[in-house]
Amino acid sequence: MRHPDRFKDQVMVVTGAAQGIGRGVALAAAGEGAQLVLADRSPLVNEVAQEASALGARVVVAEVDLETYAGASAMVAQALDGYGRIDVLVNNVGGTIWAKPYQEYEEDQIEAEIRRSLFPTLWSCRAVLPSMIARRAGAIVNVSSIATRGIYRIPYSAAKGGVNALTASLAFEHAEDGIRVNAVATGGTEAPPRKVPRNPTPLSAQEETWYAGIVEQTRSSSLMKRYGTIDEQVGAILFLASNEASYITGTVLPVGGGDQG
């Protein structure tokens, strides 16, 4: 269910907007009146911007690398140059790169997983806070994961545990500034094949087996015994971003069919 004017005249920054859940958030928010800043390091984000514009939204595109503070700062600067304020930040960058038992990870792979799934949220929150504090208003929704309790992706699990801790502590620290900070812990989600894969190297037979183990564990841990849809994740994200959640902060909402993560 959509609410046509829920974000009317609000400026929403969506990171990782080129595909998947980020694209879903961007298009749904456009249909609900938001003015958008769509951030991604893939130029595919421009296609999503065109789709959002067709729905009536004004759109600023930020092609930035959010694994760096410079990228996050540039994104926020573009948003403030374009609109003068940021009402909502949805931090959506992240995702498992490799799937295997922890002892099989190499040092550089562990660091890459943390850079991918924790640092973009850390940097983006840091970059946006001064402007929200100055206005004494703002909502941040971080996309986490129920994979904080799961198999074959321990570095990713640790990164998303960091996102949950960041969410709780930022909410505690900045409620007095009028800023709400929440997270959606997404469960397994059916999505089209990624146009830009997180890991372009084809999986070996052993890696295919490990990945199948993740899929089986995800389904079995869900009380509903299924993956969710992008729309089911988007609905929760936009609820927490909206004024309908005005008395909710510091919450990590699991959207995993009953799997609490």
Contact 121, 93 (CB under 8 A): yes
Question: What's the first-to-final CA gap in the chain, in angstroms?
Answer: 26
CA dist., res. 182 & res. 141, Å (int)? 5
Judged on CB neighbours under 10 Å (0-12, 13-18, 19+), 130 is exposed
Instruction: Give the burial class of 163: count Cβ atoms within 10 A of its Cβ; 0-12 exposed, 13-18 middle, 19 or more buried.
Output: buried
Q: What amino acid positions are annotated as catalytic residues?
A: 156
> Mapping DSSP to helix (H, G, I), strand (E, B) and coil, where does residue 201 land?
coil
72 CB-contact burial (10 Å; exposed 0-12 / middle 13-18 / buried 19+) = buried
Question: What are the b/e assignments for 186-214, b being 16+ CB within 10 Å?
Answer: bbbbebeeeeeeeeeeeeeeebeebbebb
Cross-strand pairs, 89: 13, 140
- Count the neighbouring beta carbons within 10 Å of the beta carbon of residue 143: 27
